[in-house]
């Protein structure tokens, strides 16, 4: 199992949990990235500043990790542009109909015991499992 990286996974999970806790504790907000991102374009003033700071922190954290441990975070390349566009559209569509994203439902919602988040998380995890199975085992066999 070459992709098993328990230290970076534990560290990353702890940092995500800590950032979600800090945002909820000090700002009263759920750390749902899709809502934070969409609110960046629909709000102004202080409500916009914390959103920019949070998103910049996500990008900065990834950049710092890539700088210090580049072999632990291989960049994925050579995906067909139409596939990326369709995937991005489907993710955005899913966050709209699901009233939230994987971070909002899967991290914060589950931690708060939200039944809606449990249902959403089971749905997107199940969809992901089925999608990977079809791509890796069904489509490969057909091609």
CA–CA distances in Å: residue 125 to residues 19, 71, 106? 22, 27, 9
Domain-located, residue 86:
yes
Q: How many domains is the chain partitioned into structurally?
A: 1
pTM: 0.71
Domain-located, residue 74:
yes
Domain-located, residue 1:
no
Boundaries of domain holding 76: 6-142
Residue 8 confidence (pLDDT) = 77
Name the average pLDDT for the chain.
85
Residue 122 confidence (pLDDT) = 94
Q: How many residues does the chain have?
A: 143
Give the model confidence (pLDDT) of 24-69 as tens digits.
999 898 888 888 888 888 888 888 999 999 899 989 988 888 888 8
- The rounded distance, in Å, linking the Cα atoms of 125 and 106 is 9
Pick from 42, 48, 45, 28: which is nearest to 112 by CA? Answer: 28
| pLDDT exceeds cutoff 80 at 101 | yes
């Amino acid at each position: 199992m070459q992709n098993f990286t328990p230290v970076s996974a534990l560290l990353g999970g702890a940092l995500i949990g800590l950032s979600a806790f800090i945002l909820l504790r000090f700002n009263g907000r759920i750390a749902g990235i899709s809502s934070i991102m969409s609110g960046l374009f629909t709000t102004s003033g202080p409500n916009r500043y914390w959103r920019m700071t949070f998103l910049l922190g996500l990008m900065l954290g990834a950049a710092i990790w890539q700088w210090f441990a580049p072999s632990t975070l291989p960049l994925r390349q050579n995906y067909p542009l139409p596939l990326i566009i369709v995937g991005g559209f489907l993710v955005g569509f899913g966050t709209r109909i699901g009233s939230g994203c994987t971070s909002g439902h899967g991290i914060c919602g589950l931690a708060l015991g939200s039944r809606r988040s449990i249902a959403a998380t089971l749905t997107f995890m199940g969809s992901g499992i089925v999608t990977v199975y079809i791509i890796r085992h069904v489509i490969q066999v057909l091609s």
